[in-house]
A = this chain, B = another copy of it.
Amino acid sequence: MSDTATVVFTPTGLRGEFPLGTSVLQAAQQLGVDLESSCGGRGICGRCQVMHSVGEFPKHGINSLAEHLSPPTEREEGKNNEVLRHGRRLGCSAQILGDMVVDVPSDSQIHKQHIVKEATAVEIDHDPAVKLFTVQVPPPNMDEPQSDLRRVQQILLDQHHVQAISTDLSVLQALQPALDRAERQITVAVYHDTEDQNQIMAVWPGVKERVYGLAVDLGSTTVAAHLCDLTSRDVVSSSSVMNPQIRFGEDLMSRVSYVMMNDGGDREMTQAVRQAFNEMAKDAAEKAGIKLADILELTVVCNPIMHHLFLGIDPTPLGSAPFALATDRPVTVRSAELDIHLHPQARCFVLPCIAGHIGADTAGVILAERPDQADEITLIVDVGTNAEVVLGNKDRLLAASSPTGPAFEGAQISCGQRAATGAIERVRVDPETLEPRFKVIGCDLWSDDPGFAEHTRKIGISGVCGSGIIEVLAELFLAGVIDSDGVIDPAMAEKSPRVIANERTFSYVLYEGDKTLQITQNDVRAIQLAKSALYAGTQLLLDHLGITKVDRISLAGAFGSHIDVKYAMVLGLIPDCNLANVGPVGNAAGTGARIALLDRSKRNEIEQVLRRVEKIETATEAKFQDHFVKSMAFPHLTDQFIELAKEVQLPERRVVNASGGTGRRRRRVRKAS
């Protein structure tokens, strides 16, 4: 019998020849197989789990007998962390006694790509800023008088190649008691900051297996958090709360006004939003069954005004030109400094804002979508109260913010409401009869399906949400009820009783029940103003880039996820593009926060990307107004929608005249802008 054995690792197929008695972990490390180990192969961490594949493997030319692996050690059997369930073994304890095939399960691989299940599924590399290391610290020795901290630092360097120079004071205070409690075995958390410095931020006696991070998308209306296991990368729970600042003002500018009018108003709003973070973190921790103290990091994306208010910076300068940010650098602080109570030494990383109107939320979107890495020209649109627009590819990247106002969210619309149960979200209008059918949030049936009335009796039909408004307007436009300039055609009143006169203009009755839901001429105007701002902003970026057509359009955010992209293009919210390349990308800003949480290296990377971003200020570009006026028409006064026309029968350009002449109407539309 030979004194070496052939070992093949699956799934990689890496193989090698090793002396009998070599541990599976050693063999894996020599071959460069991805096999995790955080304790330096001392049977402590339980992460180097492998499966011995027993049997004849002709493909590898190996007869992998059960006795070719050493029997389980006491250390393995004594593990109460279920290492050996499903026949798994610790790679560090299992010795090679003959030829074998060894499988490395995916959860034992270090560099694996990972699909996060909740929220937007996305591949995130795993390199969190907070990492755990379980170490056995040698006892103090008077002949080599070193401090316990130095021994810990030395072992981190020797076993894990981590040079951790600085140490939080609380770690100094907790270190020796922790060493005492578990026979000098401790787990330390090391924080790797954006300056490439490692800090020992926490210590626990014995083995600590899991710590968590919270990725937060701080919106003007909603604050949403995903609690992630920093070891496994899984989203273990999610939580969201209303942004309590709403009581100070519905939209951003009214909150800035509140600060300007009320001494200490900024502090009130800062406290309110931080309190929301605390509640949300508590909720997420409870849902996941973990302690708040096990949350070691927080990453945050948000718009500039939320950013300043969250950090306790007066947002007043952002309320008027020149819209100067206090900082457009990433911010790292202790959560405790923000009165957010997680682990006492938890860090908070806030992604950088880009410009006065373009926030860390857009930074998150770019981080999630990486238009800067693509050849094709991508347009990313994130619609909220402002719409952020990003355009470009690996060569150039531009960003702007367009003042769309809240119409897309259902505000300023007579029948509008937030996307909630009872809101009409889908609409079809029969082009012949002009009769609508629709769907309501909370019910899977269409309004002309049997049983719809019964199903919706309880939930009620209370209004139309953003996506419903886009659909009804687009359908009315396609059906000829609304002309290219957005006028509800008085002539249609003869064709259908749903088109009714309303003083000097006309309305379309979408629903009559407990409540009557009408689309008025003013509602159409509100959407026109919003979509013109969005389209004009996009057009400015296209001008700056010197192109007329984009390869791909990504719609970020909740609105982008719910609207039908075809209808958005019919109304001219977005420019013409092959519809196959237009689609929602989910909560990309929140995904950016998660990426920053789980992959530290992206923090500096995104800052480098943002430095290259050309910021276009819509407020000061003379051409914006010109684009804005031309964008009022559906889908646009002059731009052609060739790609869209392949999919949708667009009406001929047609401008009705409430009293006969087209010219007069067009002028009136211009005035409305």
> What is A's interface to B at a CB cutoff of 8 Å?
139-143, 145-150, 153, 165-167, 169, 172-173, 175-177, 195, 197, 311-314, 317, 321-329, 331-333, 337, 353, 355-356, 615, 617, 619-620
Contacts and interface: CB of A to CB of B under 8 A. Distances in A.
A145 B195 contact: no
Contact of A172 (B142, B169, B327): B327
B329 A141 contact: no
Given A148-B327, A149-B326, A329-B149, A620 B142 contact: yes
A355 B145 contact: yes
A326 B356 contact: no
Contacts of A619: 142
A564 B72 CA distance: 73
B314 A195 contact: no
A333 B149 contact: no
A176 B312 contact: no
Contacts of A153: 329
Q: Which of A143, A147, A323 has the most CB of B within 10 A?
A: A147
Nearest to A168: B333
Copies of the polypeptide in the assembly: 2
Contacts of A147: 324-329, 353
A134 to B, nearest CB: 20
Contacts of A329: 147, 149-150, 153, 165, 167
A326 B142 contact: no
A591 to B, nearest CB: 25
Given A167-B329, A331-B169, A176 B145 contact: no
A620 B195 CA distance: 44
A153 B617 CA distance: 23
B142 A327 contact: no
B175 A326 contact: yes
A329 B163 CA distance: 14
A324 B148 contact: yes
Contacts of A176: 313-314, 317, 324, 326
Contacts of A150: 327-329
A327 B150 CA distance: 7
Given A142-B321, A145-B617, A197-B197, 15 more contacts: A143-B620, A145-B323, A146-B328, A147-B324, A147-B326, A147-B329, A148-B327, A150-B329, A165-B329, A167-B327, A169-B331, A169-B337, A173-B314, A176-B324, A195-B195
Contacts of A353: 147
A167 B139 CA distance: 39
A295 to B, nearest CB: 20
Contact of A145 (B177, B197, B314, B615): B615
Given A149-B327, A195-B165, A173 B142 contact: no
Among A177, A195, A326, residue most surrounded by chain B Cβ atoms (within 10 Å): A326
Contacts of A172: 311, 313, 326-327, 331
B311 A169 contact: yes
Contact of A169 (B149, B312, B322): B312
A143 to B, nearest CB: 8
Given A150-B329, A165-B195, A173 B313 contact: yes
